[in-house]
Amino acid sequence: MKSPALLLAFGVGCLSVSAAPNGAILIPRNGAYEGRVGKAHVLFDTTAGGIMSVVEGEWPALKNTAQMEMVFKVDRPGAPGSPGSSVEIKQSNDRSPNIIIIEEGNQRVGVRVNFKLYDTNQRYFGHGMTETWLYPNGEIFINTATSFEGMM
C-alpha cells in the first residue's frame, strides 16, 4: 500500500487547470493590496491613502496604466490671489488609510478605502471614501465621498 503523502502528491499533480478556481482575489502585498477578477486588475497603495492604480502584468513587476486619487484645491480665507490663499489636499497624504474588503466573490471584487485629507504640511481638512467594484469583463466602478471639516 502506498503512503497517503504519495497519493496526495499524485492527486495534486493530476489536477486540471480547468478545475482551479477562476473567481476574484485580493492579495496583501508589501504596502498594497492587489485585486483581480477576470480582465480587471488593480493595486491599492496602503502607504499613500489607498490610491488605486489600474495595472497589468504580474507581481512584483506591475505596470500602471491609470491611477485614481482624490485631490482638492481649497481656498483659504484671505485676499484672493495672495500667497497661501489656497491649498492642495490629497488622498495620498494619508499614510494609514483604512482598507475594507467588502466582497471577494466569483463575479466581482468590492473594496472600500476610508482616508483622511491632509495637505503637504499634514494639516487635517476632513476625510473621504472611495468604493471600487471590479467585474470580470474589465469594468471598474468607483463611488466617492468627501467631508471637509474645520475650514475656517
Condensed to tens digits (0 to 9), the pLDDT of residues 80-113 reads 656 657 889 999 999 999 999 999 988 999 999 9
Q: What is the pTM of this model?
A: 0.79
Phi and psi torsions of 92, nearest 5°: -70, -10
pLDDT of residue 7: 33
Separation CA 45–CA 52 (nearest Å):
7
Per residue of the chain (152 residues), give pLDDT as tens.
444 333 333 333 333 333 334 678 999 999 999 999 999 999 999 999 999 999 999 999 999 999 999 999 988 766 565 665 788 999 999 999 999 999 998 899 999 999 999 999 999 999 999 999 999 999 999 999 999 997 65
Asked if 64 and 55 count as a contact pair (C-beta separation under 8 A), the reply is yes
Q: Which residues are registered as beta bridge partners of 56? A: 63
pLDDT at 69: 96
